[in-house]
Amino acid sequence: MLEGRTYEELCQNFRWNIPETYNIGLDVCDKWADGPERLALIYVDPDEKERRYSFQDIKSLSNRLANVLKAEGLEKGDRVGILLPQCPETLISHVAVYKLGGIALPLLTLFGQMAIEYRLRDSATRILITNSENLAKIRGIRAGLKELKLVIVVGEEGGGEGVLNFWGSLKAETDDFTSEITRPDDPALIIYTSGTTGQPKGTLHAHRLLLGILPGFEFYHNLFPQNGDLLYTPLDWAYIGGSFDALFPALHHGVPVLAFRPAKFDPERVFSIMEKYSVRNLMVVPTVLRMMMNKVKNVRERYNIRLRSVTAGGETMGEELYRWSAENLGVELNEQYGQTECDLVVGFCSGVMPIVKGSIGKAVPGHHVEILDAAGRRAAVGEVGEIAVRCPDPVMFLEYWNNPEATREKFAGEWLKTGDLGRKDEDGYFWFAGRADDLIESGGYRIGPGEIEECLMTHKAVAMVCVLGVPDPVRGQIVKAFIVPHPGFKADLALEESIREHVKGKLEAHAYPRAIQFLEEMPMTKTGKIMKNKLKEL
C-alpha cells in the first residue's frame, strides 16, 4: 500500500512485497470471507434489479464451482474461457479458476464467432463458461474446437451432452475446497490483444499481475483505499481495464464494487446509479467521459455525485475534459498509462502532485520507466523516443502465448518496449507522442499524432479526433485529421480552414493537418478505443 504525502515520499517509501506463494482467488476473496457482513459486490442488472454478495458468498460459490471444474478433470494450467458480461457469475468463475490453478481466458460477449473461435482454438481452452445468449455462437463453432470438452451455461440451458447448467451444477457440489498452492510466477490469465497487423496475441500473465497493478491503482485513485470508498467501472470485465485495473484491486483491499453495465451505455442512467449507490471511485476511458459530457447537462444541479477519484487513459484527453470533470464531477482527472503487457506504470495522483495537462504523468512508484533512443540508450531530456519499462517488474507479462518470436521482439536487454513514443521533461513528466508505428514522417519531420490531437481538441468545434499519417507523393506522408464535430457546427471548407489555422497557431507549422475528413461518428472498439485501421481504410 502506498505511503506518503508527496510523490517523492511515495517513491522513497515504496517496497515490493512479493510472497513465496500467492493466489489471486485467495487474495481477492477468501482473506476477507470472515462473515456475511463484509460486502464484496453490488450487482444491478439491466432492469436495475439489485443483488448483493458478501465475500463469504463469493468464497462459497467459487469453491463449489472449483469442485465442479475439478470433477470434470480440469488440472493446473488448463485454460477456462469466461464468455460472460459484467455479472456475479463472471467474478465467481475467475476466483474458482485461480483457486484451482487454472488459466482464465476472459472473452467479450460482443465478439463474433470468428473472434471467439480463434481465441478458444489458439489457447486450447478445455472448458468454457458462458450464458444462454451466447450459446448459439458456441454451437456454431464447437465442431472445430477439438480441445473444448465442456460448456457451462448460465441460464436455462444445460443438461445435454458436453453442456452443464451453471447454477444447477453448483447446487450439487460442496463449498469445501482446498486451493492449489500457486507461486507468484505461475500462469493465471490470458488476455488477447489486437495488434496493428496479424491475429491477436495472447498475453500470458502470472498471479503476480495483481500485485504489480496495485501501486498504479492506489495512485490513480488518490491513495486508495479511503473510508467509504466504493468503485464502479462501466468497462467490460473481459478486458484488463475492467477487471485487473478496477474489479480485483478493489476487492484486494476489501472494498465493494458496483457492477452495472446495460447493453447500451446510457450516461443518464449511469449518473443515476452512481448517485443511488454513492460511488466514490470511477474508472473509465476518455470516450466514456466525453459521452457523459456531451449528453448530460448541469450534472451538479441534477445529481448528487460524491466521487473522490476518477481515472482514465488510453487516448488523448484534451483540456475540455479536464475542465468538465472538475466542474461537473467535482474531482480532477488522474490520467493513467499502461498496456496489457505491462499495465498502470505512468500517471497522476492529484492528491500528492499537480496535474500537468497534456502530460501522461510520472512513473508510478515501484516502476522504472524511461525513454529509449533508436540505439536502445536512455534518450536526452525532451528527446522523442520509445517508452520502456525496466525488467524485472511484477506487472509484466510472462510471454505471448505460443509466440516466442513476438515475445523476444517485445524486449531489448533489461527493457520491455511499449511500442509507444514519448518524451520525458526535466521534471520527470512523460509526454505521449503516439504509437511507434503511427509516427508521421513528413518532409523530413517526425511528427507524433498525440500532440496534434491534443491541440485539435481545444478547438471549439471538435468533439472527437484521430490523427494519422497518409501517403503523399511529395512529402512521403502528410498529417490527416478525422474529426467528429460538435452538434451545431457545419462541416464545410470554412471549418476546415479554421481548424488548420488553429493548429498552425499552436504547434509547429509543419504539424497542421493538410487533410481533414469529417465523420458523423468515430469507429470504436467495444472498450471505447478508436479503430485506426478502419480510418486507414477510409
Quick check: helix, strand or coil at residue 283? strand
Write the single-letter amino acid at 177: F
Q: How far apart are CA 276 and CA 462, in angstroms?
A: 33
Which letter, b or e, does each residue of 279-306 get, where b requires 16 or more Cβ atoms within 10 Å of its Cβ? bbbbbbbbbbbbbbbeebeebeeebebe
Q: How far apart are CA 174 and CA 176, in angstroms?
A: 5
Domains of the chain: 54-207 (3.40.50.980), 439-537 (3.30.300.30)
Q: How far apart are CA 368 and CA 249, in angstroms?
A: 21
pLDDT at 439: 75
pLDDT at 160: 73
pLDDT at 291: 87
pLDDT at 521: 92
pLDDT in 10s for each residue of the chain, 538 residues: 899 999 999 999 999 999 999 999 999 999 999 888 899 999 999 999 999 999 999 999 999 999 999 999 999 999 999 999 999 999 999 999 999 999 999 999 888 888 899 999 999 999 999 999 999 899 989 999 999 999 999 997 666 788 999 999 999 999 999 999 999 999 999 999 865 446 789 999 999 999 999 999 999 999 999 999 999 999 999 989 999 999 999 999 999 999 998 878 899 999 999 999 999 999 998 888 988 998 999 999 999 999 999 999 877 787 889 999 999 999 999 999 999 999 999 999 999 999 999 999 999 999 999 999 989 999 999 999 999 999 999 999 999 999 999 999 999 999 999 999 999 999 999 999 887 777 787 865 667 788 789 889 989 999 999 999 998 876 778 999 999 999 999 999 999 999 999 988 777 667 899 999 999 999 988 677 888 888 988 8
pLDDT at 444: 59
Q: For strand 430-435 and strand 415-424, is the pairing parallel, antiparallel, or unpaired? A: antiparallel
Closest CA to 138 of 105, 163, 168: 163
pTM to 2 decimal places:
0.86
Closest CA to 46 of 153, 152, 113, 131: 131
For residues 357 and 333, the answer to whether their CB atoms sit within 8 Å is no
Closest CA to 398 of 193, 245, 172, 203: 203
pLDDT at 196: 45
pLDDT at 292: 93
pLDDT at 400: 97
User: Nearest 5 degrees, angle CA 357-CA 360-CA 362?
Assistant: 110
List, for residues 407-425, the tens digit of each pLDDT value: 999 999 999 999 999 999 9
